[in-house]
Amino acid sequence: MKPLLLLALLTPLIAADHRIEDIPLPEGVPPEVGGLDFAPDGSLFVVLRRGDVFKATPTDDPRDFDWQLFATGFHNGCGIDAVSPSKIRVTQMAELTEAEDTDDDGAADRYRRLAHGWGLSGNYHETNTLVPDGRDGYYLSIGTASHNGPTFEHTLGDYSKFGRRGRNFSAVKWRGWVLHYGPDGELTPFASGFRMHNGLHLDPEGRLWSSDNQGDWKATTPLYHIEKGNFYGHPSSLVWDPEWPDDKDPLSTYRDDLDAYNEHRTRPAIQIPHRGVNRSGSEILTIPDGFGRFAGQMILLDNNGTRITRLMVEEVGGAMQGACLHFIDGEGLRSGNNRARFSPDGRQLYIGQTTRGWGKLAEGLQRITAGDPVFEVETISLTPKGFRLELTADLAAGDPSGIGVSSFTYQSRWTYGSPMENKRDHKITVGGSGPTLDLAVEGLEAGRVYEIRLPELASKDRGKLRHRTLYYTANRLRE
């Protein structure tokens, strides 16, 4: 296309930002939000890490919530499904528990262990969460232990000396796994190789996703498309894989043979630069129609930054891959973003935050209301020659020939995170018109992450382009 020969950017119109509000919990209550969920009637349940569960009917004024103590006594409850206004299910350290108010006095009185069978070594790091499978069962994520804490002398469940090795470890059963819990009560191992997959998501098309926490064997923050039987890269969990030999230490095996490791593991659909975009991925959600922006795309919370990441996935060559960029960067968002739910009407995003025990405190509950439409990259997709970007409005000012593209690789290994390696810059040619930018990229190769840096661009009535750096993980190229 002809470069846009506008000498100056148009005066940007300021589109209203997201509105981010604090929602106070009752006075004196530590708002360490392990999980939250809306019941079908719209009431909001919040489970706090010390053990209490509060319930409220949301109001326009965030200070007017009628918080009631609904249940107590959960050990670091980090996943919650509000089945009905009087019944919740909570993953705590040792089990999935159902708590029900059977006498209609507003407080749960019947607590039943619904699922168990994963171990608990006594390490502080072994938290769990859940996502309903849509068929009256759940997928459960069973987090690993950290070498910054011990195990107990007596563990819940089998103990593995090889599983105990390493930085984050899996000394007891199913740590580092996704399990499936069926309504018949059966617990089935589903996928392995996770470190701290603190958030599972089943998208409207029935695909299961998680992120993980950058660290050992996690080069950077990943987005995984989880399929049954796959191994996602953290070796310690393999000690519980019936097909893994009992006398083989997975940690040293793969430390000494990264080729075999790479052969075995399923790579992330998207690799998310951990400093630039998301330091610690937690909850993933699909944006609903009501929110006003990017419906159908996914967001990923950052538990360790004042950020939320937007994810754009597509299927290429039979596997999922795609791009990430900021959805919210600052704007008054707290850090510690741990769990989130869209309100039943889809218009607001409720976010529960906690970091207690890990860095600076960032505890609380916030909600986000989308503002006016803004000028953003709406979608990016891989083409045979490069990338096609669709913007949310016609490009009206700025010179897209200033777009920069570079690429790099990551190799997960035993180190706590891995650097960007094999960096290179790519020459590009820019085409397209209106809201479309077509990038032809020289030297496009599979297996690399592409950093696309957009210059200052502006639209006619949606202001300047908001978030200008995105990263596309090209696991495969288009034919």
Partner 1 sequence: MRRLLILLAGCGVLDASPLTLDNLPLGEEARPLLLRTYVPDPGLSKEVFAHHHDADSSPKYTPKTGRDIKGRYQPIPGIPAAVAVNHGPALSYAFDTTECRLLYAWQGGFLDMFPYWGDPDRGNRRSFGYVPSLVGTVFHQASGAPPLELDGRPVAELGDPDYLGYDLDEQGVPTFRYRFGEHRFSLRVAPLDDRPFSCRLTFRSESPGRLGYRGQEETVFDRGVLVVNLRGKALSEHSGFPRKMAIDRPTAAAGETLFANYGCIACHSTDGSDGHGPSLAGLFGKERPLTGGTTVKADDAYLRESIKDPNARTAEGFPPNYMPPYPLKDKEVESLVLFIKSLRDR
- Is position 355 an interface residue for partner 1 (rule: CB under 8 A)? yes
First to last CA, the chain: 24
Please identify, using beta-carbon distances, which residue of 113 and 424 lies nearer to partner 1: 113
For the chain, what is the radius of gyration of the CA atoms?
A: 23
Number of residues that bind partner 1 (CB under 8 A): 77
- Is position 164 an interface residue for partner 1 (rule: CB under 8 A)? yes
Q: Of 40, 150, 229, 434, which lies in the binding site for partner 1, with binding defined by CB under 8 A?
A: 150
The token pair at 69 is: 């103590």
Interface of this chain with partner 1, residues 240 to 299, rule: CB under 8 A: 251-252, 255, 275, 279
Q: What is the C-alpha separation between 323 and 344, in angstroms, rounded?
A: 27
Q: Of 357, 404, 434, 443, which lies in the binding site for partner 1, with binding defined by CB under 8 A?
A: 357
Site string for partner 1, 11-50 (x = CB under 8 A): ---------------x-xxx-x---------------x-x
* Contacting range for partner 1; rule: CB under 8 A; set: 14-22, 160-168, 427-435, 451-459: 160-168
The token pair at 200 is: 């599972």
* Contacting range for partner 1; rule: CB under 8 A; set: 101-109, 134-142, 226-234, 376-384: 101-109
* Contacting range for partner 1; rule: CB under 8 A; set: 156-164, 201-209, 314-322, 446-454: 156-164
- Is position 154 an interface residue for partner 1 (rule: CB under 8 A)? yes
Please identify, using beta-carbon distances, which residue of 63 and 154 lies nearer to partner 1: 154
CB of 358 to partner 1, least distance (A): 6
Nearest to 402 by CA among 11, 9, 13: 9
The token pair at 77 is: 């409850």
Q: Of 11, 360, 384, 427, which lies in the binding site for partner 1, with binding defined by CB under 8 A?
A: 360
The token pair at 203 is: 């998208």
225 burial class (0-12, 13-18, 19+ CB within 10 angstroms)? buried
Q: What is the C-alpha separation between 232 and 209, in angstroms, rounded?
A: 12
* Contacting range for partner 1; rule: CB under 8 A; set: 358-366, 445-453, 454-462, 469-477: 358-366
Nearest to 327 by CA among 364, 291, 366, 289: 291
Q: Report which secondary-structure segment, H or E, holds 264.
A: helix 258-264
- Is position 185 an interface residue for partner 1 (rule: CB under 8 A)? no
Residue with tokens 């083409």, as numbered in its chain: 383
Interface of this chain with partner 1, residues 130 to 149, rule: CB under 8 A: 147-149
Query: How many angstroms from the chain centroid is the CA of residue 264?
Result: 23
Chain length of the chain: 479
Interface of this chain with partner 1, residues 421 to 460, rule: CB under 8 A: none
